[in-house]
């Protein structure tokens, strides 16, 4: 009897953790997967200062990798950079939170509890 009571208490704690974790989830519409990369480009014009230096820039691009195809790159204007950084951070947080939820759900499954 004591073991069942203890198991139920622990299950209740897991369910409370589930709810707390879900509250930390960022808004799903505010998510971007990828990386923000800084690039400098040379224009190729003879005598341009970029030929001797690092190039024109910095310019920022969102890069996203996909299996079996080249990564996609999208230029990010300065006005969008902070928002893009926040959306990328939201993706990182959401992925971390989903891993935590998955871990709790695996434990509930192991206990044969309702998912």
Q: What is the residue-averaged pLDDT of the chain?
A: 89
pLDDT in tens, the chain (115 residues): 334 554 666 888 999 999 999 999 999 999 999 999 999 998 888 888 888 888 899 999 999 999 999 999 999 999 999 999 999 999 999 999 999 999 999 988 988 887 7
Task: Answer for the pair 101, 21: CB distance below 8 angstroms, yes or no.
Answer: yes
User: SS3 for 10?
Assistant: helix
- Check: pTM over 0.85? Answer yes or no: no
Distance CA 45, CA 3 (A): 78
Contacts of 55 (CB under 8 A, 6+ apart): 40, 41, 42, 43
CB atoms within 10 A of CB 3: 7
Q: Which residues contact 56 (CB under 8 A, 6 or more apart)?
A: 40, 41, 42, 43, 50
């Amino acid at each position: 009897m004591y073991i069942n009571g203890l198991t139920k208490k622990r299950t209740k704690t897991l369910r409370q953790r589930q709810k707390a974790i879900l509250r930390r989830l960022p808004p799903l519409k505010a998510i971007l997967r990828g990386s923000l990369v800084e690039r400098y480009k040379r224009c190729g014009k003879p005598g341009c200062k970029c030929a001797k230096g690092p190039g024109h820039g910095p310019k920022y691009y969102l890069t996203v990798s996909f299996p079996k195809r080249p990564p996609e790159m999208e230029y990010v204007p300065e006005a969008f950079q902070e928002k893009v950084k926040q959306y990328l951070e939201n993706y990182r947080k959401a992925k971390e939170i989903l891993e935590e939820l998955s871990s709790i759900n695996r434990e509930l499954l192991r206990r044969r509890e309702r998912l």
